[in-house]
Chains A and B, each alone.
Chain A
């Protein structure tokens, strides 16, 4: 049985199931609504099938079979006993639902796709010169799409167009005024195609917002420089009286100079179209497109600059992390790279999405989300991300077949789940599975199964385990169950090689916490340590107050972050385990989540001092621990144990010296390899930094 046969069979079953369900519905309005909604959802499946068969399987029989099944699906048989006082038929009800304001976009996309596929059908018709058959088929399909069998019971939304369509199509007439047969086949086909496209896309008057129902004449009557609705931007020196629209357009042109590639020199609505169209294209790219990467394997990308728990200084770039995998190219000779097939977002805090997009990633790169605890700098962008994922799912019909049906997995701490469950619950089409881990509760150590972007399990390549973190978050859970935050230990693999990335997240120092990531023989290769601040705030100054044993103990046992002492002890513990294991694999410690008081180069300076300390401890040998300050743009290859150079773009072992250059008002850190550092002059480096500075506020075209 071919795929088309199977799909047609499934579609028929879907229709039958819905019909059977209608029999049970009775007078329960909510069940009736749900059934109609399911029927509408089935339209997406119809569109998928039609697109697949017309574009990929050009056998007339297959296309015909699929189209017939779709027409059958659209003409749902209603049970005789189904009576609903205000609704004449289910089809009317469903179509009413389709043209409901909230569903309009979805419906337009379906119609657009279906009309596009009609084009393909018509091209097929042109090839075999069978215009009459094509015309008849188009008519049949159009009837099916509109759920029509005759004049009776015409749904409202097509009533305004139907008479026009029907007469023209049935009579073989085109809107050009002549019969189809009188035209040359290519011309006839094109004309018919354009007509059908217009017919399907053109919203009826009832679908338009009230102000759009005005005629062009009514809209453009005021401007002295306008001709009809085509209001031209007049030259100010001409002394012409400008309409309000013209004034606005001129103001936009002046104030937004540089943002629009071509200043508006045409009608105002063209200017609007240009701006809106450009932004919509950008949104579409971010929602549906995936960038190709030439580097394969796992990458760990830091998208965080400050901890920004309270984004009061205005420079906050919280963010989080993104772990992703690019598979090996299928055909190395001709391939331009592969798209990300698994991407895990970790702690999407303030500005995460902005940083994420600035690094060229898109919504479709995401296959999983991890939130370690309920603090805004770790989850505030979770809901916007979910909303984008939802948007990408909802309009996937418009995204073409490649959009498919993609879902994400989520791993959340108990507190984070309490905070976010409402948004998870209401977006069922976004989430495949949600895992909740609370320290001390059953199942805390159970494995978490993530999937790739196509929904295939990747437990062989990615193993994520929740770990204890001692950190009080905003949820009420700590009072009931102890500390609620979690850290994560992520093990990534490619054939023959494995690396571990530890993200203890926000946590107090404790031997127990550190020991989870520093097991002899299986210690983490990369550890992201969240500093929080150098020390807990004190009126006696940061360092002096904590210099005594008693106050020093306070830092460790009363604070909720590692602070400097915790960082030092963690690094020492890591050095110990590397030394004991004797394998000489230095651990990379990424210092992250700096308090915003650590500006003016303190972050890079701290990392440099720690590296000097580790080098001195190692004596003539290689340091056992390497420290790098985390910032937006730090990309790590955990398996090859390399860092990407911000200048040359190549990867170098993290055991080689890197220079951490701070550049620009926002103090972005650039990671310069020894080679670039020695070759490039300061001006050249700054030029590169300027070019590569994360364009945080500007949208980036893919």
Chain B
């Protein structure tokens, strides 16, 4: 059914772009130069003027800077051709600019009919891509906003995506149907990433089932994304044992064994493959899976096992943000295990680039606060253990 022409270079470039965008959002890079999100309406969550994605990132000249600056990974990461010149523009807002209900603000851009200009694909496919990208931008903005209301609005984005997801004919073997299938997987994965808990698991499961039915297992790397989302859903659902198993499954798939060769072989062998993208998936899925598995183990009070899990990152190239997360977890492990580990100085989070990102800053400050509290108690115990000193004696040192 599937042939190489299912995924034109432009189509693959957009898939690739989605992956990069997800990496950026996961690392709290909400407004990098490679993906300029203009407008400063965050405060009022007015998205109308906000969603302009100028994806000049894939001009040959702009690839290296963002890699070095934002990802710190090996520049040998392969970027497919075909993204240059894509320009995504959205319709201007209708009417009033007054504050509206969050729900309508979030859903409206998806309900409009925005178009990617210059994509050169079928209009239906263009429209779906645009909606997907709008949803991604919305997710980024809502995650950046990170208020309780924003989290609720994320569910709305997920719901809208499920409604907008294409449903290709099962027996249709045309290239268009093939593209729609892949877009469906992308929509379901994005919806799964927007939702929390059991909804997220259900959507990821749905995606996995579709992939299995349509192209089989072990063919498309999108199933790894679905598996990762499912693990995240389990984590949000506090089903740590399941989450741990799934995170480990993802990282083991990608650990360089032949199991994953199918995902990254040439298109001639597997039209759904991502040739030469193993390194990208290391950054996108493998490292986060190991880190999340270690985090899950920490939640289960298994500090030594968590430390061992982090050992699996040896030899992998971590981005600055990922390294900061690992450092935070090492500090948490030290807090849990105590002893001499507590004597190690905590990293100076605030001075690093990652220290200026809200999520990692909150995590690190939480760990740091715990460390200081433990130290005060420990020192108080040491003072108590000293013989009582009065006026003429020296103070306990």
Contacts and interface: CB of A to CB of B under 8 A. Distances in A.
Verify that A and B bind, or say they do not.
yes
B383 A38 contact: no
A20 interface: yes
B372 A21 contact: no
B365 A418 contact: no
Given A2-B397, A28-B147, A58-B391, A425 B300 contact: yes
Contacts of A407: 336, 338
A433 B302 contact: yes
A42 B337 CA distance: 19
Contacts of B391: 58-59
A51 B373 CA distance: 15
A4 B396 contact: yes
B146 interface: yes
Among B304, B308, B388, B389, residue most surrounded by chain A Cβ atoms (within 10 Å): B304
Contacts of A449: 304
Most B CB atoms within 10 A — which of A3, A21, A34?
Answer: A3
A44 B362 contact: no
Interface string A590-602: 0000000000000
Contacts of A62: 395
A424 B300 contact: yes
Contacts of A404: 377, 381
A372 interface: no
Nearest to A61: B395
B146, B241, B361, B380 interface centre (most CB from chain A within 10 Å): B380
Interface residues of B, number: 51
Nearest to B339: A455
B302 A436 contact: yes
B240 A38 contact: no
Nearest to A29: B148
Given A421-B241, A435-B302, A443-B308, A455 B373 contact: no
A58 B396 CA distance: 10
Interface in B350-375: 350, 358, 361-362, 365-366, 368-370, 372-375
Nearest to B302: A434
Interface in B43-86: none
Candidate in B147, B337, B369, B390 with the most chain A CB atoms within 10 angstroms: B369
A482 B383 CA distance: 52
B299 interface: yes
B219 to A, nearest CB: 26
A13 interface: yes
Interface string B112-149: 00000000000000000000000000000000011111
A428 interface: yes
Which of A10, A30, A41, A443 has the most B CB atoms < 10 Å from its CB? A10
A134 to B, nearest CB: 17
B144 to A, nearest CB: 10
A30 B386 contact: no
B111 interface: no
Contact of A428 (B238, B301, B337): B301
Given A17-B372, A456-B339, A24 B377 contact: no
Given A17-B365, A59-B391, A30 B380 contact: no
Determine which residue in A26, A31, A433 has the highest number of CB atoms from chain B within 10 A of its CB, and name it: A433
A2 B301 contact: no
Given A59-B389, A436-B302, A21 B380 contact: no
Contacts of B304: 433, 435, 449
A401 interface: yes
Contacts of A418: 241
B377 A457 contact: no
A405 B148 contact: no
Nearest to A454: B381
A370 interface: no
A56 interface: yes
A49 interface: yes
Interface string A9-30: 0110110011011001111111
Given A425-B299, A455-B338, A56 B373 contact: no
Contacts of A443: 305, 308
B303 interface: yes
Given A48-B377, A58-B388, A405-B377, A434 B383 contact: no
A24 B363 CA distance: 10
Contacts of B361: 21, 24
A6 interface: yes
Contact of B372 (A2, A14, A402, A425): A14
A405 B395 contact: no
Contact of A42 (B147, B300, B373): B373
A52 interface: yes
Interface in A374-417: 401-402, 404-405, 407, 410, 417
Contacts of B147: 26-29
**Interface-central residue, B301, B336, B338, B368, by most chain A CB under 10 Å:** B301
Contacts of B373: 14, 38, 41-42, 44-45
B302 A34 contact: no
Given A10-B379, A425-B240, A26 B146 contact: yes
A163 interface: no
A18 B337 contact: no
Nearest to A41: B373
Nearest to B368: A17
Given A432-B337, A456-B339, A52 B380 contact: yes
A457 to B, nearest CB: 7
A57 interface: yes
Interface in B324-346: 336-339
Interface string B213-256: 00000000000000000000000001011000000000000000
20 contacts: A3-B383, A7-B379, A10-B376, A10-B379, A14-B372, A14-B373, A18-B365, A24-B365, A27-B149, A45-B376, A52-B381, A56-B386, A57-B395, A58-B390, A59-B395, A407-B338, A410-B301, A432-B336, A455-B338, A457-B339
Given A3-B379, A48-B377, 11 more contacts: A4-B379, A4-B383, A17-B368, A46-B376, A48-B380, A57-B383, A59-B391, A401-B380, A404-B377, A404-B381, A432-B338
8 closest residue pairs by CB, A with B: A14-B372, A27-B147, A48-B380, A7-B379, A45-B376, A52-B383, A52-B380, A21-B365
